[in-house]
Each structure stands twice: as structure tokens, then as C-alpha cells.
Amino acid sequence: MMKYFIYLQYDGTDYHGWQTQPNCVTVQETIEQKLSMLLRRPTGIVGAGRTDTGVHASQMVAHFTLTDRTSTDENNVAQGEDEASDNENRVADNGIALEDLGTDCKTLAFKLNQVLPPDITVQRIVAVKPEAHARFSALSRTYRYYITTQKPLYKRNYVMRMFETLDVEMMNHACAKLFCYEDFTSFSKLHTDTKTNICKIMDAYWQAVGKDEVSYVFTIRADRFLRNMVRAIVGTLIQVGRHKMTIQEFAQVIERKDRCTAGDSVAACGLFLEEIEYPESIFFDEEE
């Protein structure tokens, strides 16, 4: 059995999010169709996470598995590794190593980029160890949210417009409160199939950038994120930045574990999945 990581970028404007769903065009389904066509066998991918409709990715990672022709049906379902996670896993049917297909990772990445639409780009494909998993092996994920006070023309699908300036210092003081908690129910989409709302936030801060054009960038890194979590946090922190919520009130929002107490979720267009971190141990050394 051979397993591979695909590193990719995408513009989420015209997609109904990452995860495959009926009667919708999604990033996952689009990649699976093209990958299956090139490998000449049904090939599914498992992403490091899900992004919602309109959310972009500067880096998303997904894995696919090619199993030996003599493997049993159980192995062809990638050892059932993701059956409990929203049916994200797909069958990699009758797979073999890329080398046996007369290609390599660089060639496959090149060919994928030729057949994928312009709003999805494969950065690279790398072989990983069998135990590697795009979702469960990830150490952290980093998101960034972009806001501008100007009317963006060419960037309107990649930034949220605001009509007022924000108090960055106050928002960063509020960000410090995020490190004091683990249960972020208040920032989670309601009625999801998530088993736990516990997350470890490792970094969170705002930056004001630009001279002629005032822009704000929010960066947050955590071991995992809940559905709609980043956009809900940003919407609530904006209330702090507008002096409509105190830092203590922001902390109370988290403590109440009630989505109704938090601010509105901001628009999806300004959100980017920026980076996913993995342990070095799941990758092959150059000598291997």
C-alpha cells in the first residue's frame, strides 16, 4: 500500500465548500474526478479538514491511498481509517504505486494541474508513510482573515469590507483570552455532528497593515477548529474593536457556551486556510 499527500491551493468562490455533497460542486469532488481519470481507477481523497462555501485555501492537504492489486476489500477502504468521520474516505480501487503506473509524484502533479480548473492548483504530491493521515496526523492548522476599509474591486472575493476603523490593541487583548479556554461551543455552528467542542488555540492576533489602504489581518492557529469557528470569533472580536463589547464581556461569551451570545459570523470571502503542520516522522527521509 502506498499513501500520498497532495498539497494544493484553491479559490473557494465558486465551490460549495471542500467536502463532497449531493447536487453541489465541491473542491473534493472536483479533484477526485480528475485524479481518478488520470489513475484510471476510482480514487478518493481525505482532506485535512473542511472549508465552507466561499472559503479559500492557500494550503490544503489531502491524502489518497493506492493499494496492492492483491489486497482484500477491507484494505481497499484504506483500512477503514475514516469511516467514522463523515464518510470522507473513499475506495482507492485496485491501486498500485505511482512508479508502477509509469509516472511519479512530480509528473502526476503536473498532469493534475493540466486537467483541473484554473481555481484549483496542486503545489506538490509527496509519498508518506502508511500511518500518515491528512486529518488526524495534523499538529495544527492556521487560518487568516482579511478585512479592508476601502472598496475592493479586484480583491472583492478575497477580503471583507468594513466602513470603520478597528481598535487593534483592544482586539489583541481580547485574543489573549482565547488561550485561557478549551471549550469553544459559543463559536461553533449549531446542530453539527461534532463529538467535542474542545480545541487548543496556540496563537491568535490582529495586525493593521497598509498605508493608503487600511487593512486588518487576523491570524489564528489551533490543533483543530469547529464548524464556522473562525468566522464567529472574528465577528465577535470586531465587536470589541468597535468598542461595542469589552474584553471581559468577550471572555463571558466563551464561558457561557452559547452561540447566541457571540457576534455574527463574518463573510466567508475573507477567510483563508493558510497552513497545516505535520510531524516530520510521517514523511520518508531522502535516503529511504
The DSSP H or E segment spanning 124 is: strand 120-128
Of these residues, 14, 52, 73, 93, which one is catalytic? 52
Q: What is the DSSP letter of 115?
A: H
Residue with cell 463589547: 245
Is residue 100 flagged as an active site residue?
no
CB atoms within 10 A of CB 23: 5
Q: Which of 240, 239, 244, 199 is nearest to 222 (CA)?
A: 199
Integer Cα distance of 123 and 248 in angstroms? 43
Assess contact for 240 and 164: CB atoms under 8 A: no
The DSSP H or E segment spanning 10 is: strand 2-10
- Residue 214 grid coordinates: 487600511
Assess contact for 20 and 32: CB atoms under 8 A: yes
Residues known to be catalytic: 52
